[in-house]
Amino acid sequence: MCAGVHAAVDMAMRHTDAYCLHGIVHNELVIKELESRGCRFVEDIEDVPDGATVIFSAHGVAPGVRARAEEKHLEIVDATCPFVAKSHRAVRDFCVRGIPVVVIGDPEHAEVKGLLGEITDRRAPVKGERIGVVCQTTMNADEVRERVRELQRDYVVDGVVEVCNATKERQDAVRAFDGDALLVLGSRNSNNTRKLCEIAKCRVFAAGNMEEVLKLRGEISRYEKIGVTSGASTPEEFFKGAVACLKRTPRHVAFIMDGNGRWAAKRGKKRGFGHIAGAKTLMRVVRWCGERGIQYVTVYAFSTENWRRPADEVAGLMRLFAAMLKSQAASLVKEKVRLRVIGRRGDLPEKLRRGIEDLERRTAGFDRQLVVCFSYGGRAEIVDAVNRAIEIGEKVTEASFGRLLYAPDIPDPDLVVRTSGERRISNFLLWESAYAEYHFTDVLWPDFSEGDLDAALADYASRNRRIGGVK
């Protein structure tokens, strides 16, 4: 926040029983916070009851409004930004000297309305006449300079009050930014925020609150170098939260989808019923992860140990996987998700293997990936890699050994989530998850919701990933 906004918000915080004329600053989060503390917002001075306390917003008011407040015996808390107040004084000075004033700005904006209210003689200047120029403090500084140059062609410009420094500094930083995308944080009705969006030379994203940042995260994270800036009335806390959210979105999340059987039992149903519900959850989770910019999702669907389950459950799981390959093919293609299946594929029925290969081929060109661990065991994967190393006859390093694993091109998981309250690894990604963060939740997998995913991601974002170093 700039100093003027800071002071205005502080004043409003100290007068939460007051009526604020116009949004104290143009920021939805600030307004929401003040409203929740009791502050009331009105657009017209007539809506403030006589004798009450009124706060003039940072954008300032016309002298007529101030006079009316005095007539109504209002107690005035003036939160006008000092730079706006300076512009008011400049307009008054020009008027006293009989010099016509040109105001550069948006005529619908509160600040401009206030400035126009200072002008006593509204006549248009004549060619060659001496004029004063005052601009809205949050305009595009380059555009203002251009307008002043235009005015200088026809008039003698006596003095110019330019945009405020806080505005100028932000604009200069945005102009200088040479990244691929810029996230501008602030509200739609904030003039200086909008100007930052206009000035940027790269792809621009705008967000006024955390929900909007979360929605945009997926699209933004496709860019390599991202800048973040904010309007002058954007709370620091929101800014920090948004940056942390962009910085700390895991690239790869792995799920131990556990609790299907218990979920079914709680409903008096057979375990297979829980597996079907779990499969539906999986497809939703893949979509939510995509929306959040997570490029790789790995799921533990069937372990090398799961072969020990009763034959009918195992057969049911094979049938369910085959059915999923068919029913989800179109949506994987539509959502551009590449399917990979890792594990001891040789153990699977021939028909299922063909179904897997077919869908893997059809989705091979896509960037986002869904890795399904099926007949998978972390030890089996390491043992298989060791045997391949022996076949090749070479001593291994960590890097070369990694290349012998089932999906060597995929980065290690950043986060492993296990549902159903169990707190163990169960032979999942033993090599790959050496530095993963773990998140455990009691929620049974079929019930795992978008909110549960966000909770896991928030938990991940709060961890300090030192990776052996000191940070």
The residue within the footprint of ligand IPE, chosen from 60, 114, 235, 259 (CB under 6 A), is: 259
Given the rule CB under 5 A, which residues bind Mg ion? 258
Q: Are 257 and 301 in contact (CB under 8 A)?
A: yes
Instruction: Answer yes or no whether residue 422 interacts with ligand IPE by CB under 6 A.
Output: yes
Residue 39 one-letter amino acid:
C
The catalytically annotated residue of 27, 140, 191, 258 is 258
The catalytically annotated residue of 189, 209, 306, 427 is 306
Rounded to a whole number of angstroms, the CA Rg of the chain reads: 31
The residue within the footprint of ligand IPE, chosen from 181, 257, 332, 415 (CB under 6 A), is: 257
**258 or 414: whose CB is closer to Mg ion?**
258
306 is catalytic: yes
Residue whose pair of structure tokens reads 């999702």 in the numeric block:
297
Instruction: Answer yes or no whether residue 146 interacts with ligand IPE by CB under 6 A.
Output: no
Task: Report how far Cα 361 is from the mean position of its chain's Cα atoms.
Answer: 34
What is the DSSP annotation of 335-378?
Answer: TTEEEEEES-GGGS-HHHHHHHHHHHHHTTT-SEEEEEEEEE-H
The residue within the footprint of ligand IPE, chosen from 110, 301, 325, 359 (CB under 6 A), is: 301
258 is catalytic: yes
Interface map 271-300 toward ligand IPE (x if CB under 6 A)? -----------------------------x
Residue 303 CB, nearest approach to ligand IPE (Å):
4
**200 or 289: whose CB is closer to ligand IPE?**
289
Residue 64 one-letter amino acid:
G
Residue 218 CB, nearest approach to Mg ion (Å):
30
Residue 434 CB, nearest approach to ligand IPE (Å):
19
Give the span between the Cα atoms of 381 and 406, in whole angstroms.
7
Only one of the segments 231-239, 254-262, 389-397, 434-442 lies at the binding site for ligand IPE (rule: CB under 6 A); that segment is 254-262
**119 or 257: whose CB is closer to ligand IPE?**
257
**189 or 427: whose CB is closer to ligand IPE?**
427
**45 or 444: whose CB is closer to ligand IPE?**
444
CA dihedral sign of residues 210, 247, 194, 214: negative
Whose CA is closest to 118, among 152, 71, 80? 80
What residues contact residue 6 under an 8 Å CB cut-off, 6+ apart?
A: none
Please compute, for residue 81, the number of CA atoms within 13 A of its CA located in the half-sphere on the CB side. Answer: 28
**7 or 314: whose CB is closer to Mg ion?**
314
Give the span between the Cα atoms of 415 and 403, in whole angstroms.
21
Q: What CA dihedral angle connects 364, 369, 375 and 377, to 10 degrees?
A: 130
Residue 260 CB, nearest approach to Mg ion (Å):
7
What is the DSSP annotation of 379-409?
Answer: HHHHHHHHHHHHHHT----HHHHHTTSSSTT
What residues contact residue 245 under an 8 Å CB cut-off, 6+ apart?
A: 210, 213, 214, 217, 461
The residue within the footprint of ligand IPE, chosen from 16, 53, 306, 400 (CB under 6 A), is: 306
Residue whose pair of structure tokens reads 């003689």 in the numeric block:
121
Q: Which of Mg ion, ligand IPE, none binds 343 (CB below 5-8 Å, type-dependent)?
A: none
Q: Which of Mg ion, ligand IPE, none binds 177 (CB below 5-8 Å, type-dependent)?
A: none
Residue whose pair of structure tokens reads 């890795």 in the numeric block:
371
| Window 213 to 252, contacts with ligand IPE (CB under 6 A) | none
Residue 273 CB, nearest approach to Mg ion (Å):
15
Instruction: Answer yes or no whether residue 261 interacts with ligand IPE by CB under 6 A.
Output: yes
Maximum CA pair distance of the chain? 97
Residue 259 CB, nearest approach to ligand IPE (Å):
4
Instruction: Answer yes or no whether residue 377 interacts with ligand IPE by CB under 6 A.
Output: no
**118 or 258: whose CB is closer to ligand IPE?**
258
Instruction: Answer yes or no whether residue 347 interacts with ligand IPE by CB under 6 A.
Output: no
Which residue ranges make up the site for ligand IPE (CB under 6 A)? 256-262, 300-303, 306, 317, 420, 422, 424, 426
| Residues involved in catalysis | 258, 306
